[in-house]
């Protein structure tokens, strides 16, 4: 027992670890060994130190995890203080990861929190392989896709120690989710991309001619009026002057049509596509994620299999279900695709556009090559310039029937293989 572990400190946790129970896993062995692993050997990584991350760090530290690492690339903004409770007014402008780590260590004796102020992409597989469990409290789909692909790609079935469970949490207003991802065993994050909430859009005819909502008036000011008054200049959602101008324009528009509800904060939210953050949602989802981490670390109870949905806007409702793996998933599946009946007269640009529209892949800026040549490369600049001319060429000039195209993308640290067969003429 360490100096910080005074008598009775972990009595509540030890109730689950000193004896077995009807829901314990076969691997569970009650006693000092599992308690020692939890407190001394289990190394946890928390990605994100925002609304969800602050709750996660607190929950994990109070659950007996003593070796916690946290990554976050953001600094503290004054707007964070209403819900990210590890921060204070004096912390504004400082790195979230560093401030959160310091706060937790001061409040929970014996817990060591190691911060990293930077991007998850700064770290390699060797870094991520040191952790027992990785917990994501991210607000970015791109970041989730990257860490998911990296961790899944690390797993070698012949080396069980390379299996790194991911506990992923997400919130959106009064709704949230927690899930457990076991690489190549359960569905990974990429398998569920088609479940993502689509951004709210409004018909242009409604915005221009028949607004009914305050959001219609704000979009009218942003999409129609701003370009007319400031051609060539983009709206800066963080500029008080820009938001004030749009707010004034939207307010006048709303008065003309008898619409109420246009506010400065709503204007900024529409322009920046901000989804309100609810502190209680963060607390509930973080508690669920920390609970899953505890179960994975100790095996005292079976872990979530594998998706929990929380809805709190009309009462309190949770629903759990097993999300199925997709065999065609480019990350945990075969990472191969076959395209039949491809039009040989389509240009390479048209082919790339068709790839970005495939919901199961969701590529952003793909680079394409065959085993013998580069078709189009996004970077470096010299290679992009050299392959730019291929975009206007038809596929028949660049490919043979049955050629395999290797696709890479900034969103994924893996390669996708696509076999292309031309349409018979």
Residues marked active site are found at: 205
Nearest residue to 269 (alpha-carbon basis) of 226, 319, 218: 218
Nearest residue to 171 (alpha-carbon basis) of 303, 273, 286: 286
3-state per-residue secondary structure call for 245-307: HHHHHHHHHHHHCCCCCCCHHHHHHHHHCCCCECHHHHHHHHHHHHHHHHHHHHCCCCCCCCE
Structure tokens at 125: 């597989």
Report the phi/psi class of residue 352: left, alpha or beta, with left for phi > 0 and alpha for psi in -120 to 50: alpha
CB 320 within 8 A of CB 401: no
Rounded Cα distance between 341 and 99, Å, is: 56
Write the DSSP assignment of 70-130 as a string of letters. Answer: EEE--B--GGGTTT-TT--GGGTTSBHHHHHHHHHHHHSTT-EEEEEES-GGGS-HHHHTT
Helix (H, G, I), strand (E, B) or coil at 17: helix
């Amino acid at each position: 027992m360490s100096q910080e572990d005074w008598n009775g400190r972990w009595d509540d946790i030890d109730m689950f670890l000193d004896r077995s129970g009807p829901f314990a896993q076969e691997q569970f062995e009650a006693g000092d060994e599992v308690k020692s692993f939890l407190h001394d050997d289990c190394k946890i990584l928390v990605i994100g130190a925002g609304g969800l991350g602050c709750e996660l760090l607190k929950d994990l530290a109070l659950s007996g995890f003593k070796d916690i690492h946290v990554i976050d690339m953001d600094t503290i903004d004054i707007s964070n203080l209403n819900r990210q409770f590890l921060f204070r007014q004096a912390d504004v402008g400082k790195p979230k990861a560093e401030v959160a780590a310091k706060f937790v260590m001061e409040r929970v004796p014996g817990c060591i929190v190691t911060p990293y102020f930077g991007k998850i992409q700064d770290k390699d597989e060797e870094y991520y392989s040191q952790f027992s469990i990785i917990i994501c409290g991210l607000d970015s789909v791109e970041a989730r896709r990257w860490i998911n692909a990296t961790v899944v790609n690390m797993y070698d079935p012949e080396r069980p120690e390379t299996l790194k469970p991911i506990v992923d949490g997400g919130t959106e207003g009064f709704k949230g989710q927690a899930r457990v991802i076991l690489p190549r065993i359960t569905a990974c994050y990429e398998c569920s991309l088609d479940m993502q909430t689509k951004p709210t859009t409004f018909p242009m005819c409604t915005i221009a001619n028949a607004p009914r909502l305050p959001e219609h008036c704000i979009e009218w000011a942003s999409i129609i009026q701003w370009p007319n008054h400031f051609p060539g200049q983009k709206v800066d959602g963080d500029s008080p002057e820009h938001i004030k101008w749009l707010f004034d324009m939207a307010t006048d528009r709303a008065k003309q049509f008898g619409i109420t509800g246009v506010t400065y904060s709503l204007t900024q939210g529409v322009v920046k596509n901000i989804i309100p953050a609810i502190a209680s949602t963060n607390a509930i989802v973080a508690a669920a994620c920390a609970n899953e981490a505890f179960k994975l670390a100790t095996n005292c109870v079976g872990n979530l299999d594998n998706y929990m949905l929380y809805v709190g806007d009309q009462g309190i409702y949770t629903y759990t279900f097993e999300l199925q793996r997709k065999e065609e998933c480019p990350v945990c599946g075969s990472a191969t695709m076959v395209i039949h009946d491809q039009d040989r007269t389509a240009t390479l640009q048209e082919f790339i556009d068709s790839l970005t529209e495939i919901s199961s892949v969701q590529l952003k800026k793909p680079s394409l090559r065959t085993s013998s040549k580069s078709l189009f490369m996004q970077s470096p600049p010299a290679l992009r310039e050299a392959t730019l001319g291929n975009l206007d060429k038809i596929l028949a000039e660049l490919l043979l029937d049955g050629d395999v195209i290797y696709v890479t993308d900034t969103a994924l640290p893996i390669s996708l293989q696509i076999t292309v067969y031309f349409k018979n003429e």
